[in-house]
Structure 1
């Protein structure tokens, strides 16, 4: 249990844990990772817990500091504010001990949330939305991704590459487990009103969770929007270039410019996805064929050659236009669809060349 001034609830939590250990008829230890300025550590030690003091702050760091000092074959975690009834631990523990799950979680949203236990904004918006993100991005398949009551085997815990030190640690654990195809099971639990003062900052901590999830899923943050934008932009450009119509809609010069902008932005976002996948070693790497091809298959030389070819194709046409402009005494020339397409080819060509150089430089840096 990580603790930060939990003197009002720590004794009751330890008592519930001791009752759970008796009910399971197993030997265990209670490790309190404490950063308190009140009597929390003294109360915990008096009740038989082992208190460790992290040398840095942060919710996630407190857990990681404690993990390194635990000795059990199985690890159970939870908050020390009496919101979780640790006497419900046996039903989570049995799932892991029997091999039915690598990690078992207590689901508050599938269980019972007692009045005054969770703000309505958290219960009906924040937690369901963050859980949805985790399920879509990382295939977690859970109903309550931010429940703090969890049991896992030591083997499962050690397979996770946990790095975060703040509140997003709760998300990282599920993201890592989902990315590594660990089996996560849930059981309904009862969530109780907390003892003591809350330290959670709803919007700030919620944003940290969302930001961390997106940063570690560049396929959803960059590649998917980029491919969608470039594909849609290419279709709009084509329809506008041939002056096509769909029902009452006619695609003209404005559609051509809009399609060009979407295409260029889409290619840019796609390359950001490629760069993020090779530079940051995200938990969930993009798996779409375009990003995979650009980051793992295509060589710098071939990609750069293709980019130069696109730039040259557009550049030759624009060179002819420039010559005609000069020959006409620099008079006004009409903006034709061919001009816009040529500009688009030149911009995309430049993006390909310099984008692949950047990706290759990062790859070489990683190898060294």
Structure 2
């Protein structure tokens, strides 16, 4: 019987007694009126208001999820589902469970993730807080589209459908509200087919405040998007800092830069060289984050990732680091000769000396960092070589 179930409708539940019966009834009407073989799963997250009794009386299947959190509840319900396809939504009567056919049709057509779009389907007055409607959702959806090139207009719609087979590929791990973003991002990273359909958002049917915390959950969504996009978090900032730092440092080493009445000299050189080192640190963190995420299954492997190990290895890193270290030592010796020329006393032309000393210190520090990074990088690659 379990194998014949086409659709599982999953609702996370934490004290939803006010609206749970309405949602279950609408879901049952949808299944009956469209002759869909399905089941209704209530993923209960520790309700104390009698929600379990309501679900039981309406013949919905209850899955008790002990670990707290929106993500935990949904993962528990989804993993217990028997359906070929799964449609999930909150049990607060903000989504109409009697109008799920657009989602099911897209799933039957082969799409692996079907997202609802509330901005296309309509948002009832007072159904979405002002900050969510005009700031939080648009900004986070824009960041998601920018970072991951996903053509989705509403990243945080709680009504969505997907195949059970597609879900098993994702390896979702988050436990809170960021579960919604993780599902979309990982679907894209795993090259799943994604589409969206218009859906209407109605006013929450409960009298109590929602579980969603605007600023805390918004930050968790943004943090997730940043952590899963090391390019935007580390690589692109590193390239900007490296380009600006290297170019300005080269000009300042040659001579001071005078702009109208402002002179940029060795003091500025100290900052630009520091900017270059910081940029390199960002690049190191990008590489290490990428390796850690891929090797621990957080991000999928790609041909570009495999090429990373062809171009970056211990030997090349040690040679490059040693060369920079040697340049730094040579420049330091040259600076020492300048100091010797005044019998190791006070320097008369500190600007000329610092144009040698600052690059000397910079190349020594950069050389040591490259050597250490290469050693650590080779340790991380040992696991890969053993596979």
The alignment's TM-score, normalised by the length of structure 2, stands at 0.88
Match for residue 7 of structure 2?
none
The residue number in structure 1 matching 2:232 is: 220
* Structure 1 segment 65-214 matched on structure 2, within 5 A: 65-99=76-110, 101-196=111-206, 197=208, 198-214=210-226
1:299 matched residue in structure 2: 313
CA contact (8 A) 1:139 1:179 kept: no
Provide the C-alpha distance between the structure 2 equivalents of 1:142 and 1:300, rounded to a whole number of angstroms. 41
The answer to whether the 8 Å contact 1:14/1:44 transfers is yes
**1:96-146 residue CA offsets vs partner (Å, 9 max, x unmatched):** 1122x2111111122211111111000010011111121122222100011
Cα distance change, pair 293–269 in 1 and its aligned pair in 2 (3 A): farther
Shift of 1:213: 1.6
How large is the RMSD of aligned CA atoms in angstroms? 2.4
Aligned to 2:293: 280
Deviation at 1:327, TM superposition (A): 5.9
Counterpart CA distance in 1 for 2:300 and 2:137 is 24
Q: 1:241 is paired with a residue of what secondary structure?
A: helix
Unaligned runs of 5+ in 1: none
Residues 140-191 of structure 1: CA deviation (Å, up to 9, x unaligned): 2100011010111222112211111111111110010111121211111110
Taking structure 1 as reference, are residues 145 and 136 closer, same or farther at Cα in structure 2, changes over 3 Å only? same
Contact persistence 1:179–1:283 (CA under 8 A):
no
Partner residue in 1 for 2:333: 319
| Structure 2 residue matching 1:129: 3-state secondary structure | helix
Aligned residue pair count: 366
Alpha-carbon distance in 1 for matches of 2:169, 2:307: 28
Q: Residue by residue, what CA displacement relative to the aligned partner does 1:65-107 show, whole Å, maximum 9, x if unpaired?
A: 11221111111100000111112210111011122x2111111
Q: Deviations 1:318-351 (Å, cap 9, x if unpaired)? A: 0232254256332123143222222221111111
Inter-partner Cα distance in structure 2 for 1:154 and 1:146? 20
Partner of 1:22: 32
Change (3 A) 1:366 1:168: farther
Q: Which residue is 2:379 aligned to? A: 361
State whether structure 2 residue 60 is matched by structure 1 residue 42. Answer: no
CA contact (8 A) 1:219 1:287 kept: no
> Per the alignment, do residues 23 and 240 of structure 1 end up closer, same or farther by CA in structure 2, a change over 3 Å counting?
farther
Q: Which runs of 5+ in 2 are unaligned?
A: 1-10
Tell me the TM-score normalized by structure 1: 0.92
